[in-house]
Amino acid sequence: MQQIVVGVAVVRDGLVLAAYRPGPEGGWEFPGGKVEPGETDEQAAVREIREELDLEIKVGESLGPGEDISEAFRLHVYRAVIVAGDPVLREHSELRWFAPEELDESDWLVADRPFVRALRTRR
């Protein structure tokens, strides 16, 4: 059974927050992490964004069916809005706010790309 990983597309004023994962297979991604036993996807998203970015968020709609990261992990991505705080860089090399027209999926991690497409079409 695959473990679920949640990614969060934090949206503010029409812009989407992305985090850059450095390294040879790096790229932009939606911040987030693993769903712990007993947590819902939404609870994990709130916890992970608090830990990684020091933000309080309200989780909204799913951006579509999950994507396999590997045999062990499956990524689910949700939209969210900021309830409190400003993003703090803790675990990534860079944070950036993207306008929908700036979302070029080739710069993103492979598993995140279908969710980038969903954001561009849904705005």
Per the CB < 8 A criterion, the answer to whether 32 and 6 are in contact is yes
What are the sequence ranges of the domains in the chain? Answer: 3-122
Query: pTM score, two decimals?
Result: 0.92
CATH class for the region spanning 3-122: alpha beta
Per-residue pLDDT band at 51 (split at 50, 70, 90): very high
Residue with tokens 């579509």: 64
- Report how far residue 31's alpha carbon sits from residue 92's, in angstroms, rounded to the nearest whole number: 9
β-pair partners for 90: none
Q: Above 90 in pLDDT, residue 121?
A: no
For residue 63, give the nearest of 16, 98, 97, 22 by alpha carbon. 16
For residue 4, give the nearest of 30, 31, 35 by alpha carbon. 35
Residue 95 confidence (pLDDT):
97
Q: Above 90 in pLDDT, residue 106?
A: no
